[in-house]
Structure 1
Amino acid sequence: MIRALLLAFSQLSDPRVRRVVWTGVFVSALAYALLAGGAWWALSVTPLSGYVWLDTIIDLLGGLGVLVVAWLLFPATVGMVSSFFLDEVVERVEARHYPALPAPRQAGLMEELGTALRFLLLVLAINLVALPIYIFAPGLNLIVFYTVNGYLLGREYFEMVAHRRLDRMSARMLRRARPLKPFLAGVAIAFLSTIPFVNLLVPVVASAFMVHVLQSMSAPLAAGRTTVIRR
């Protein structure tokens, strides 16, 4: 597992992989800059109370609130943007470490869009439900955070990578037959997601990481064929 993670980080030496990282960061930063600028402008031109001094305070607090929300959601947005390009990351990892693999199945644009949106909504929804525990249960909140997000991130990244080689049912059966590796990989990804600036690399590193995790597991290809994927 540690070797697989080190190999994933080493993949950042690939210029095409770094391009995916910078694309996610740039597009997300541009979107949030436009959003923050628009919100700040709307607050500044809208008199909310009729008192100049009070409107000034409201503008400052509102602008600060926009910046805080942008900071908190920025990594998730980078992940969503990067998810449209992660197939290229997986392709580069396979070409570098597993060149003997056959050609992968091709996912359509709607499938990739659905995967990206499903992943973002699922992570946000589960963490919103667990928010009271995060706030009011010190100590327990870390256990819940890493357990919940380890499961979610492990499942989503595993299925995203596995779907290049397996149909959905086969990928799900493989993960359920050997759940520990995807879960532990998900916990490692969740931990990296809590480190400032490193979390911007997580979508790319996690995808490369999960390729190595998948290749360490045996899986049947769908449609009546059986192939063993080996390290």
Structure 2
Amino acid sequence: MIDAFVKAFAQLPDRRIRSVVILGLIAALVVYVLLAVGLAWALSSTAVVSLPWVDALVDVLGGVAVFVLSLLFFPALTTVVIGFFLEQVADAVEDRHYPGLPPNREQPLAEVLGTTVKFAAITVGLNLVALPLYLFLMLVPPMSLVLFYALNGYLLSREYFEVVALRRADPATVRTLRKRHMGRLWLVGAIITFLSTVPFVNIVAAVVGTAAMTHVATRLLRRHDLLPDTGAGLAGAGR
């Protein structure tokens, strides 16, 4: 399983994967700037009290708060944008490591949109939970950290597995596989959760998580004879 993440990180320079990361960063940066400017303007145009020096202090402190909060949510914005292009990441992994697979299953539009919206909602929710966690972990027992990784590992394992596996199998089959291999998939989700809380690494956590889950899902689908064993092109050249 660790080798799935090693291969995922190693493929980050792949042209198709790199383009998804760059697109996510650019889009998130635009949203970040608009959000920061909008909040800063709202603060500067609002008078809290009639004392100019108090209003000036509030504006300064508010500006710092806007900057910090926007910076903390930047990885979440990046992940949400990247979430709309994860199939491209999975395709790149399959092309490099599992050449010769049959064409992807035709997914109904409602299924694709539903999976993408759920992925984005859980990503935002995870980051909302992680925000106070950075502060509280210094004050609360380690059990809270265990609970955080256990819960979000389960949630992310479901979503990432569905994003990848629904390209190859119908929803009923995907649910059966997910329940049968819940322990292994949970561990993958827990690692993705951990990556999502590491500064700077969290920017590419969605891409790395999708690539790693593609390796795991492909092996499970092969084990259950849902995909042909075409061999793994581990030394394939990057794109």
TM over 0.5: yes
Distance 1:197 1:109, change over 3 A: farther
Distance 1:111 1:55, change over 3 A: farther
User: 1:175-208: per-residue Cα shift (whole Å, max 9, x none)?
Assistant: 1011122111111111111211111111111111
Structure 2 residue aligned with 1:11: 11
Alpha-carbon RMSD across the aligned residues, in angstroms, is: 2.5
Task: Return the alpha-carbon distance in structure 1 between the equivalents of residues 12 and 99 of structure 2.
Answer: 18
Task: Return the alpha-carbon distance in structure 1 between the equivalents of residues 22 and 132 of structure 2.
Answer: 34
Give the drift of 1:119.
2.2
Structure 1 residue aligned with 2:183: 180
Distance 1:152 1:229, change over 3 A: farther
Matching residue's letter, 1:139:
P
Matching residue's letter, 2:214:
V
The answer as to whether partners of 2:130 and 2:197 remain within 8 angstroms in 1 is: no
Task: Return the alpha-carbon distance in structure 2 between the equivalents of residues 184 and 92 of structure 1.
Answer: 23
Q: TM-score, normalised by structure 1?
A: 0.88
- Secondary structure of 1:100's partner? coil
Give the drift of 1:132.
8.6
Give the drift of 1:210.
0.4
Distance 1:110 1:65, change over 3 A: farther
Task: Return the alpha-carbon distance in structure 1 between the equivalents of residues 203 and 110 of structure 2.
Answer: 25
| Structure ranking higher on relative contact order (CA contacts 8 Å, 6+ apart) | 2
Task: Return the alpha-carbon distance in structure 1 between the equivalents of residues 199 and 51 of structure 2.
Answer: 39
Structure 1 residue aligned with 2:172: 169
Give the drift of 1:7.
0.9
Distance 1:195 1:4, change over 3 A: same
Distance 1:31 1:174, change over 3 A: same
Q: TM-score, normalised by structure 2?
A: 0.85
Task: Return the alpha-carbon distance in structure 1 between the equivalents of residues 223 and 14 of structure 2.
Answer: 30
Task: Return the alpha-carbon distance in structure 1 between the equivalents of residues 188 and 45 of structure 2.
Answer: 48
Give the drift of 1:106.
3.6
Structure 1 residue aligned with 2:159: 156
Distance 1:130 1:63, change over 3 A: closer
Task: Return the alpha-carbon distance in structure 2 between the equivalents of residues 98 and 18 of structure 1.
Answer: 19
Matching residue's letter, 1:24:
G
Structure 1 residue aligned with 2:95: 95
Matching residue's letter, 1:227:
L
Task: Return the alpha-carbon distance in structure 2 between the equivalents of residues 43 and 158 of structure 1.
Answer: 42
Task: Return the alpha-carbon distance in structure 2 between the equivalents of residues 43 and 133 of structure 1.
Answer: 27
- Secondary structure of 1:217's partner? helix
User: 1:117-154: per-residue Cα shift (whole Å, max 9, x none)?
Assistant: 32232354477679998836321121011111111111
- Secondary structure of 2:198's partner? coil
Task: Return the alpha-carbon distance in structure 2 between the equivalents of residues 104 and 117 of structure 1.
Answer: 21
Structure 2: gaps (5+ residues): 233-239
The answer as to whether partners of 1:75 and 1:199 remain within 8 angstroms in 2 is: yes
Q: What's the % identity of the aligned pairs?
A: 44
1:28 aligns with 2:28: yes
Give the drift of 1:48.
2.4
Structure 2 residue aligned with 1:104: 104
Structure 2 residue aligned with 1:82: 82
1:189 aligns with 2:188: no
Counting matched residue pairs gives 227
